[in-house]
A and B are shown apart, each in its own frame.
Chain A
Amino acid sequence: MALAVAIFLLVVGSIIFHLVSPWWFTPIASNWTAVDSTVELTFIVTGIVFVLVNGFLIYCVVKFRHKEGHRAHYEPENKKLEIILIAITSIGVIAMLAPGLFVWANFVDVPDDALEVEVVGQQWRWSYRYPGSDGVFGSTDVSHMTHENPLGINPEDPSGQDDVIVYNADLRLLKDRPVKLWLRSKDVLHNFTVAQFRVKMDLVPGMVTHLWLTPTLAGEYDILCEELCGVAHYAMRGRVIVEEEPAYSNWVASQKTFAQTQQESGTDINNGRALYAVCASCHGQSGEGNEALNAPRLAGMSSWYIENQIFKYKNGYRGTHEDDTYGRQMVPMAATLANEASVKNVAAFIESLADTPNNQTVTGDIENGRRLYTTCGACHGKQGEGVWSTDAPKLAGLNDWYMVRQLHNFKNGIRGYHSADATGKQMMLLSGMLKDDQSIDDVVAYINTLQK
């Protein structure tokens, strides 16, 4: 009896939960309203079955509970009843399946007038490519991938020259125009999902998959990876901006083409040395850093990392948070580097500085730090050596007080909060694994031991 009441309450409770729960589909932003309708239809059909089956169950549990001297009815089977039940079930199944197949047929069939955009996944970030004025993507290969050519476009392929590379910003799509998204992975399986678009597809290394949709609602949406792709899977975030003309075309036109990214001439270290004079006042003549001035050591850092950070300061992705006292000091300094060439020259000069050992100021539980660092090592390398393909700087030899401060900044959303700061956002999410100050000290103390 109690069981009948319980099941009754669970059924009623489930229906009420269904009706009042605040968790339901996000407002749809694509043409795939038919997907939502199919889901709702399935809810109706299965909901009816859920109520009927459990209603009958409750009835049986109440009505036919054990009574002294009572005996159950003997009936091995009832063919007619079972055939009727099979028939009804089949009708229900067809009612759900048939619309689903029609929608799927639509999903499989990409419209001819669809724009094409390529989405590239890697551990653990997104980047994008537009086919450029010729409308054709250049061929790609893993062997071409370098820091300067992160998407691995074949430099020999003429159709790749005008491809627009979007490596550190958002995906932009044109409202009300079908778009076919080509999905390519550089390393492992990923999955491209925008909850508001409803459709998703895996990225499979070694092949190019696709999906299509028509964005229907201007706005900004999160891109999530939904295929477990390694330890920072949950930090693999991106953003898609749906906008109208002419904003869309203007934006695409303002991005660099592949040819432009490859054009830069070689760097000039002497020019870099001259420019570095400004930096030296805080960071020291040989880039040794100065804790009193809150200037971290630069010697030993790769040029690509220095470049990225200076660009972030220049573009307002870093050092703009009001609590970022020392980052704010860096912004006007970065602004003294007038153009890309000078940034690259300074970075090249810094890379050439001798990497000498460092003072250690932070103490902590090294064993615990080692355990925590396992996760960090997935990007920064097991020895803290830094890995260009994950955009992870070298940590071994970095000032420990600086790392502690930056980890606090990431954790507190002072650094990495800017939506266009893709790598900073990763660190913001990952630093969440260091749940108190002690663990920050521990992991930094362990990184200290990696210094050669």
Chain B
Amino acid sequence: MSMWTLVIALVCALIVWAVLVRYLMAQPWLPAGDPGNLADITAVDEPAKKVGLYFFLCAISSLFALFITAYVMRMDPNHGADWFSIPKPGILWINTLLLVYSSISMQHAKTVSTLNGQKNLKRALMTGGVFAILFIAGQLWAWEVLHGSVYFHLSNPALGFFYLMTGIHAVHLIGGLYVWARVTAKVFNNAQPETVNLSIELCTTYWHYLLLVWLVLFGLLLLT
């Protein structure tokens, strides 16, 4: 893979190292309270699900970063002579707006969920989910548009990557919708706020993350 991935990997490693180094310098054989035994933390002060989600997002980031790397490498003119840029269906712009609005609604749901009475929570959640579903429907539409167009040659890697990356992104969103559906069902059954608020928050984080991924992918697709 190209050298810049290496550089990024090295930089990440250095950052992780820098963060960890404070803990890693402790001399654990000294009794607690000894100045040599610093960084005596017990656990990250966050709910486990949140930490789990962050690690999951790291794994997905690795997945999409590798797809993008593969995309860029496959485009390399040395062996990418069969790469023909395809016109991107206009509906993608509308889809992007749908996903942005979906994300905003989820953010709204998260905000109101912590307020007393949880006013408008149901509506915000519904809007967030429905717009995400519309986004996926729009993506399918884009697939149809391309499928019917003269550019539909699967041997063209640009087209293959378009389906691949939009598809993988949509699969992740569908996974999110599964969690969303469970939370929404609970909210509609008037569950106690403390049983659903964390899930709403995590859904929101996931939504923002997938929006970010989509914007990166969309940008990449538009540029190439």
Contact = CB atoms under 8 A, between A and B. Distances in A.
Direct A/B contact, Cβ within 8 angstroms: yes
Interface of A: 76, 206-207
B78 interface: yes
B27 interface: yes
A207 B78 CA distance: 9
B29 interface: yes
Contacts of A206: 79
B27 A207 contact: no
B79 A207 contact: yes
B156 to A, nearest CB: 16
Contacts, number: 5
A443 B78 CA distance: 46
A267 to B, nearest CB: 36
A357 to B, nearest CB: 41
A120 B78 CA distance: 20
A207 B79 CA distance: 7
B29 A76 contact: yes
Contacts of A207: 78-79
A206 B29 CA distance: 59
Interface of B: 27, 29, 78-79
A206 B76 CA distance: 13
Majority secondary structure, A binding face: loop
A299 to B, nearest CB: 40
A207 B77 CA distance: 12
A76 B79 contact: no
5 contacts: A76-B27, A76-B29, A206-B79, A207-B78, A207-B79
A408 B27 CA distance: 74
A236 B104 CA distance: 62
Contacts of B27: 76
Nearest to B28: A76
A209 to B, nearest CB: 12
Contacts of B78: 207
A225 B78 CA distance: 26
Contacts of B29: 76
Nearest to B30: A76
Nearest to A204: B79
A73 to B, nearest CB: 14
A152 to B, nearest CB: 16
A206 B81 CA distance: 11
Nearest to B29: A76
A407 B79 CA distance: 43
B222 to A, nearest CB: 28
A74 to B, nearest CB: 9
Contacts of A76: 27, 29
A434 to B, nearest CB: 40
- Ranked nearest first, the 5 interchain pairs of A and B with the lowest CB-CB distance are A76-B29, A206-B79, A207-B79, A76-B27, A207-B78
A336 B218 CA distance: 72
A206 B80 CA distance: 10
A75 to B, nearest CB: 10
A28 B29 CA distance: 56
Contacts of B79: 206-207
A437 B135 CA distance: 66
B81 to A, nearest CB: 10
